[in-house]
Structure 1
Amino acid sequence: MNEVNLIKVFVKESGGGNPVPLVADASEMSSDDMRKVAQHYGHESCFVMPVSDPMCDYHLRFFVPEHEMEMCGHATVGTMWALRHWGLWHENTACVQTLSGRVHVAWDEPTQRVWISQPPVTVEALSDDQAQLITRVLGLPASAEIRSVVNAATSRVKTLIRLADTTVLNTLMPDFSSIKTACEAIGSTGLYPFAKSSTGHFSARQFPKSSGYPEDAATGIAAAALWGHLANGGEVDPTVVCSITQGEAMGSPSLIEVKARYDHEGMAAGCWLSGEVIWAALSGH
């Protein structure tokens, strides 16, 4: 097995964040080799590959224990941070090749942070029957109201489920055996219930469709989709950074930061994602 390094991304507190097993040179690894790494560690894993897109500087592939993913936000943030610290990325910007398309990357020297781009969100409303299905799968009590539910995507479709408050959010006990079937029925790759925690700040949880683990500590592309949906509704101020916490209910507190992105002509062009990254000790599952 090629050398695997472990980082943790979107860290909020000691012990928090989402782990990423990372292989800095996976040029001789097969797809099956990469999937086995993800299976061994039980987390989304990232692999640096030779570039085939002449417009890109780096090429990343992502695997969860069950399959390859088109894009992984926290793994991209963490990998580019690691490449910077290894002296393998020196410029202030970069373009990364992924299965979901090109991702733009910016280095913030004062904060030692990586910011990655996500395109504008697309949103689709769900039916009342679909909302009732989600209510049953999440195990919501009759007194707990779903205030809104939509499918939203920047890279992959996530189902955004707005709850009344963080107490309801953090006490959810989903029927994990039904999540895959429910996600297939509504055309989603994961359920992302959320609630407003304070002005400009939100808390969320993510229950993936079929990643090989029941809950995700931090989901960058879901946070990007949530920010885009809220920005479209005028609920977040595009001139300030929005914070989204995740992972607290599973004992891995994470913090994702999202802000507006603009093109060279000053037109809205999706958002930027960032968060704290640290080195972590390797441990197999």
Structure 2
Amino acid sequence: MDVLRYAAFTDDPAGGNPAGVVLDAAGATAAQMLAVAAEVGYAETAFVVGHPGDRRVTMRYFSPHAEVPFCGHATVATAVALAGRSGDGDFTFETPVGEIELGVAAGRASFTSVEPSVAELTDAQLVELLDLFGLVADDLDPQCPPRIAAAGNPHPLLVLRDADRFDGFTFDPARARRVLDGNGWPATLTVALRREPLVFEARNAFPVGPVTEDPATGSAAAALGGYLRALGLVDPPARVVVHQGRHVGRPGLLTVDVPPTGGIVVTGSAVPLLA
């Protein structure tokens, strides 16, 4: 399989989140795709496994650890790669979580998530997450209560009140992996800081292969948009900006448009990597 490599949610190949992209994986088995993703070593690699239409493709996503139902940054990377071959315009991705509509123009892609949902964390889950990150309940922003937010993948979400605590927390990657697997969470554990009413910074724990903290997480950004709408923390339509990746030396920028109803729209650039 020919693997393309892109950095998503950035205009700089040294920033954003690297993604592998395979534009023709028709006939590949899950084991083969997992092996390719492990060899690539990025957080996720996206595989186009079918072409049911001119601008409609069927997608699967794999981390070096397992198949992932949906991956936002690899979706953006794949859309930009497809536009490089077919021209800018609209695409539809058939994914394991449902149909994702996309628009691509000048190296930027916007995807509309599936309908988001928000649920309570159990007391045990919250204690487990706080302990993992060396936090206590008083570190949480009282205006942004902890939840599980989903817009393709479920993301446990903690919003902190203090920038120093946000910058300073650490976690054991092996323990984070046990927390993810033990709760059946296929994607990242999100910790965020609300810097301004419509500006957030996020850190996403995701230990897979050589990765421990994800530099830019499109599905978590969509989940955050759904969370903000569900809890009445923004007045839709609203545009939220999410900064991510500073803590791992790959800064990225995600634009999140929150409509009054329906899926959340996440936009970002993608640029090819040399290796």
Query: TM-score, length-normalised on structure 1?
Result: 0.86
- Alignment of 1:137 onto 2:106: no
Partner of 2:270: 277
* Aligned counterparts of 1:233 and 1:160: Cα–Cα separation in 2: 13
Partner of 2:15: 16
**3-state DSSP of counterpart to 1:174:** coil
* Aligned counterparts of 1:196 and 1:57: Cα–Cα separation in 2: 37
Shift in CA distance, 45/238, structure 1 to aligned 2, threshold 3 Å: same
Amino acid at match of 1:233: L
- Alignment of 1:154 onto 2:154: no
* Aligned counterparts of 1:12 and 1:125: Cα–Cα separation in 2: 36
**3-state DSSP of counterpart to 2:158:** strand
Amino acid at match of 1:48: V
Residue in structure 2 matching 1:128, options 117, 123, 143: 123
**3-state DSSP of counterpart to 1:159:** strand
* Aligned counterparts of 2:54 and 2:262: Cα–Cα separation in 1: 19
* Aligned counterparts of 2:149 and 2:269: Cα–Cα separation in 1: 25
Query: TM-score, length-normalised on structure 2?
Result: 0.89
- Cα contact 1:165–1:197 (8 A) shared by 2: no
Amino acid at match of 1:124: A
Shift in CA distance, 12/207, structure 1 to aligned 2, threshold 3 Å: farther
Partner of 2:30: 31
Shift of 1:124: 1.2
Shift of 1:238: 2.7
Amino acid at match of 1:158: H
Shift of 1:186: 4.4
Q: Which aligned pairs between 1:24-173 and structure 2 lie closer than 5 A?
A: 24-43=23-42, 44-51=44-51, 57-86=56-85, 88-89=86-87, 92-107=89-104, 109=105, 112-140=107-135, 144-145=139-140, 147=142, 148-173=145-170
Length, aligned pairs only:
270
Partner of 1:222: 220
**3-state DSSP of counterpart to 2:74:** helix
**3-state DSSP of counterpart to 2:237:** coil
Identity, in percent, stands at 28
Per-residue deviation, residues 88-113 of structure 1 (Å, max 9, x unmatched): 255x3221111111111123x4x542
**3-state DSSP of counterpart to 2:178:** helix
Structure 1: gaps spanning 5 or more residues:
262-266
Shift in CA distance, 127/61, structure 1 to aligned 2, threshold 3 Å: closer
**3-state DSSP of counterpart to 1:215:** strand
Shift in CA distance, 141/13, structure 1 to aligned 2, threshold 3 Å: farther
- Cα contact 1:139–1:175 (8 A) shared by 2: no
Shift of 1:177: 2.3
After superposition, the CA RMSD in angstroms is 2.4
Shift in CA distance, 101/89, structure 1 to aligned 2, threshold 3 Å: farther
- Cα contact 2:13–2:272 (8 A) shared by 1: no
- Alignment of 1:238 onto 2:240: no
Structure 2: gaps spanning 5 or more residues:
none
Amino acid at match of 1:33: Q
